[in-house]
A and B are shown apart, each in its own frame.
Chain A
Amino acid sequence: MLDNQSVIIRLKNLSKTYTTKSGDVHALRDINLEIHQGEIFGVIGLSGAGKSTLVRCINYLERPTGGEVMVDGKILGELNNNELNQTRQGIGMIFQQFNLLMQKTTVENICFPLEIAKVPKDQARKRALELLEMVGLADKAKAYPAQLSGGQKQRVAIARALATNPKVLLCDEATSALDPASTRSILALLKDINAKLGITIVIITHEMSVIEEICQRVAIIDKSRIAECGNVREIFARPQSNIAKTLVFPNHGQTNTMTNTNCCRIVFDGHSSYEPVIANMVLEFKQPVNIILADSKNIGGRAFGQIVLQLPSDAAVAAKMQQYLQMKGLTVEVFEADASLEVSANDR
């Protein structure tokens, strides 16, 4: 289905290398990515993986040192400064620290991109008030950012980013500075504007829960490269790369239970039967299993459950149990504790 949609952002062999006194630092290597019009696309990675650099290359806040960035039919590297500024008016961006003008009211903040786009003042003001209404802050028109909560500031930032009717909205860790409740409401707002305006949203985050909540597709960045890219449900159920396994594993695999061996993760994808699978398995094998973690998630509107089990130390029984679970139609994935530890050690 996605294949029929037009590509709005295309990154081709993108790379970014910083030259520092202590040698070259490769922030991005050979990134190839296509983002389709109207989708919510996630980019996830641990800190230092290069995801922030990646999103900054999409609007050329960072100039890539190799490769090509295409946004809405324009190849950014071929534009002069004026044309680049014009193109940027069609690419909104929001940030972790909101980056509002602190000496200006919310309305003046939202008017700023319109002033840059040379929209007449009264028209800009009208549009700003409409946008404030849309993000649910109609009563805060005269407030200064210092008087707003984090979630409200991000709403103003979203309104500001949407002022010039951009086709793309880039979100750089937009919910990372917010509490869980504000995070949820900001994500709901993003989902809402995606549905209403059809705007393409690119979300950069280090939290898998953010991806699970609103993204349709995701690219996982690890050590400056794309480790895995695809449908979020697919990756949640069957992660291929070590980094993907670490990220979908509850608590990023950082729980101390990870020192345990013989762990496996079972994913129910909402189609599973109501049969008490684990209980039946224990009865059948007459061997106890240890439930380490159980969790359910709503991914792209579908319920997914996951359970982390510690299987008996007898390898033969453990293998049979895995087979049993697979036969019941569940996705079973043996989690290698070592893999996650390796990834976290390489974080930075």
Chain B
Amino acid sequence: MTAEQMVEILSSETVNTLVLTITSTLFAYIIGLPLGIILILTDKDGIHPNAVTNSVLGFVVNMLRSVPFLILMVWMIPVTREIVGTTIGNKGTMLPLVVAAAPFVARMVESSIKEVDHGIIEAAQSMGAPTGKIITKVMLGEALPSLLVGFSITITTILGYTALAGFAGGGGLGKVAVNYGYYKYQDDIMTLAVILLVILVQIFQETGMRLAKRCDKRQ
């Protein structure tokens, strides 16, 4: 393989990894954020306690969180094929990624909001704040630094999942590492793929942590 070919493969697969990671994270939050909020609200110490909703949702989240991602992806193949039409490439990886990541996000969001002092929520209630305002202004507003830390952990975890997906037909840097390194013993391109993955993880992590620190007004 020429150097040009290597560069081309690595750069296009890096883009693939980025696209897959970012879109999956986005969808995981679209589903996971409301779930996390519902878990908080319906908790027995929450502002709308509801034992049934809380335990059913908690159970589903726990079950999905318990299945290792690669197994989930393989297990979901028939479902993925039915819904998306393919089980390979970015298209085929996205659905299982979101299914695996959304419950993870829900727990992340839940634990971030749990850190908010209950007294502040009580103060908002005493002002006559409706639930919507309490969620947006108090829970999300006060938990923002912690939510950003959670976001950076989530996005790096999802990046890790995309690499795993390389074993089961997924695209991106994981595929490069698996195909060239694992099956063809081409150590050079595999090492480069690994370095690129590490760099991406570090970029996401550092950006998230820095943002979190910068927006935290508690000093």
Contact = CB atoms under 8 A, between A and B. Distances in A.
Given A97-B119, A146-B218, A86 B125 contact: no
Contacts, number: 81
A147 B127 contact: no
Interface in B104-133: 117, 119-120, 122-130, 133
Contacts of B218: 102-103, 144, 146
Interface string B92-112: 000000000000000000000
B163 interface: no
Interface string A78-120: 0001101111110111010101111110000000110111000
A88 B219 contact: no
B117 A99 contact: yes
Contacts of A157: 123
Given A95-B119, A99-B119, A61 B216 contact: no
A277 to B, nearest CB: 49
Contact of B120 (A59, A87, A101): A101
A179 to B, nearest CB: 20
A59 B127 CA distance: 10
Contacts of B138: 101
Nearest to B131: A81
A316 B122 CA distance: 58
B126 A88 contact: yes
Contacts of A113: 127-128
| Among A91, A103, A104, residue most surrounded by chain B Cβ atoms (within 10 Å) | A103
Contacts of B127: 88-89, 93, 112-113, 116, 160, 164
A61 B124 contact: no
A85 B128 contact: yes
B122 A61 contact: yes
A130 B177 CA distance: 64
B202 to A, nearest CB: 27
11 contacts: A61-B122, A89-B128, A92-B126, A95-B123, A102-B120, A103-B142, A113-B127, A116-B127, A145-B217, A147-B219, A157-B123
